[in-house]
A and B are shown apart, each in its own frame.
Chain A
């Protein structure tokens, strides 16, 4: 294994690639909208965080990565995983706690893993996957692979984040640190929790490359992520890719969202990454209105398959509650 690339035989910025990206953005959007609906219907339980409005980051980063590269997520990672080809059936069943879930119902929304696709782990611990990613990078550097890890603006204030910037840079580890800066940590705006204007500013004192990118511009994310992946793979060390974005829904499903104004959300709805990417592709003639409708329909159909799979799947047996604690 050594840095195999995704989309073998597909040109770097071809229409085929971009259409596939848009299709995946729709899959994520449809999946998460349905997840919200199922939560309201009490068919899904637990603490669920969706990333509606942040699909451009998920798909841009996933597209820049090779099949053998590793990915770590956060508590808000359905999209990160689906963008890299996670099985929607296993994911939906996992959110429901079914035995057919990708983690046999032991994980739930915040702790998804699909190791076959090198989706190593999400986490309920803010900032918790950053050191895991560095450790995996110790292995990846021997294989010619790269590790990408997501974190939020809130996570940039954990002590471990700073420890990891130091170590990743000190050892030039092949890590891409993707900051999804959606402007809030739970209910607190970034201006109230962080003294620097941008998370990527932290790269400089740790002698680390960093870049700020419009996270709702999917192709800009792709470009930035590609540069970071190439740098990592070529031994140039880690990069912070700070993607400025916004979550259009609450922090968690059920969040009353009293901490922000409706017109702020409306303004960002106008910058919806799916709409923006669609108009880029339409202007270029890469997709027609009909293509886009079909994409949306096929995404929704795929999600309905996943819902059916989840609904028809068995629960884990109660007797198995302590399975998988030890080898």
Chain B
């Protein structure tokens, strides 16, 4: 089986969809030279500058342009270099892209993919490391996915491009160069289903993106201590695949949500509330959340380590939940 890097998965997804559908176009800053990480390298040479549009640094207008191209029949993929910069494009994203289908009574369709790169790695500090997914799960009309591995980077991006609604595609910078096997490179998965990464019986760990790998490490450690953890990789953050979560919790009776984003008001709050609403009778403990403290992302490596949750914390939290 072939192994590829996460960024190669992203590039291959874009290439394949551009090959199969001429309405797919790419817009973003520096995309003609591959962007800062090389995801879009080689695209302009293959598909030309009418389909790979290198834009000025004008986030709000690029978001609006991509939306205006989408409602006229294109399938734009827009690259926002760092999710931190999407703050500049919030009006077009939230007021137009997310709402045009609804406000037009279904006349308009916005098949748009917004690629956003995020995550706290390497001490890039407070304006290049945020995890902002909580903002967008609150906006009706948007979808959101966050792949944890190269195979999903490839498959979910293809699914996102084919989807007829705006999809925020959250890439983790700390995963760009990890390699994974691609079991079935030809398949395009469903955009909205969670995946059970590791089956287990005592505790459900609900997580996504890079934290999946901290959970995997934690599960190995927990197994040594006699606790069998089931890891659910959400993949889709909006909508949430509640069926998979609830079925798991009904078996394990314990749920722990782990994300890199700030805990306060984060996605974990929504997940926790929904589990308690639908599976309260099955729970043996409150649903717990692990995430970053209520602080901006620090630059110092020591502080960054203290900011991002890790396997050790997951193990400790799980042990407390299960008890002796």
Residues of A at the B interface (CB closer than 8 Å) are 70, 101-107, 111, 113-115, 120-121, 123-125, 128, 130-140, 142, 159-160, 163-164, 166-167, 170, 322-327
Contact = CB atoms under 8 A, between A and B. Distances in A.
Contacts of B50: 138, 142
B58 A135 contact: no
Interface in B128-147: 140-141, 143
A167 B65 contact: yes
B164 A136 contact: no
Interface in B224-269: none
Question: Which among B102, B107, B108 has the highest number of chain A CB atoms within 10 Å?
Answer: B107
A135 B105 contact: no
Given A103-B105, A135-B68, A160-B91, 18 more contacts: A113-B108, A114-B107, A120-B72, A120-B108, A121-B104, A128-B92, A131-B60, A131-B92, A135-B67, A135-B72, A138-B53, A142-B50, A164-B58, A167-B61, A325-B140, A326-B101, A326-B165, A327-B109
Given A128-B64, A131-B61, A139-B74, A104 B92 contact: no
B38 interface: no
Given A135-B70, A135-B72, A326-B165, A160 B64 contact: yes
B66 interface: yes
B106 A104 contact: yes
A131 B141 contact: no
Contacts of B95: 123-125, 128
A259 to B, nearest CB: 26
Contacts of B164: 327
Question: Which among A113, A124, A132 has the highest number of chain B CB atoms within 10 Å?
Answer: A132
A149 B107 CA distance: 19
B71 interface: yes
Contacts of A125: 91, 95-96
B106 A135 contact: no
Contacts of A124: 95
A327 B101 contact: yes
A128 B96 contact: yes
A113 B107 contact: yes
29 contacts: A101-B105, A102-B105, A103-B104, A105-B105, A107-B103, A113-B104, A113-B105, A114-B107, A120-B71, A121-B104, A121-B108, A130-B64, A131-B64, A131-B65, A131-B67, A131-B92, A132-B71, A135-B72, A138-B74, A142-B50, A159-B60, A160-B61, A160-B64, A163-B61, A166-B58, A322-B140, A324-B104, A325-B140, A327-B164
Contacts of B299: none
Contacts of A167: 55-56, 58, 61, 65
Contacts of B56: 163, 166-167, 170
Contacts of B58: 160, 163-164, 166-167
Interface string B76-120: 100000000000000110011000111111111100000000000
A134 B61 contact: yes
A131 B67 CA distance: 8
A133 B91 contact: no
A324 B74 contact: no
Interface residues of B, number: 42
A17 to B, nearest CB: 28
A114 B104 CA distance: 8
Contact of B91 (A113, A128, A134, A138): A128
A163 B103 contact: no
B69 interface: yes
A301 B76 CA distance: 45
Contacts of B60: 131, 159-160, 163
B96 A134 contact: no
A216 B109 CA distance: 36
Contacts of A102: 105, 107
Contacts of A136: 68-69, 71-72
Contacts of A106: 102-105
Given A125-B91, A170-B56, A327-B101, A135 B141 contact: no
Interface string B289-320: 00000000000000000000000000000000
B73 interface: yes
B153 interface: no
Across the A-B interface, give the 6 residue pairs with the lowest CB-CB distance, nearest first: A131-B64, A135-B68, A104-B105, A132-B68, A135-B65, A163-B58
Question: Which among A123, A138, A164, A166 has the highest number of chain B CB atoms within 10 Å?
Answer: A138
Contact of A103 (B62, B67, B107, B141): B107
Nearest to B49: A171
A135 B104 contact: no
Nearest to B70: A135
Contacts of A132: 64-65, 67-68, 71, 92, 96
Contacts of A103: 103-105, 107
Nearest to B110: A327
A170 B53 CA distance: 12
A251 B68 CA distance: 27
Given A113-B108, A134-B61, A160-B64, A325 B70 contact: no
Contacts of A324: 101-102, 104-106
A326 to B, nearest CB: 5
A131 B63 contact: yes
A104 B102 CA distance: 9
A323 B105 CA distance: 8
A325 B101 CA distance: 6
A124 B74 CA distance: 24
Contacts of A159: 60
A70 B164 CA distance: 21
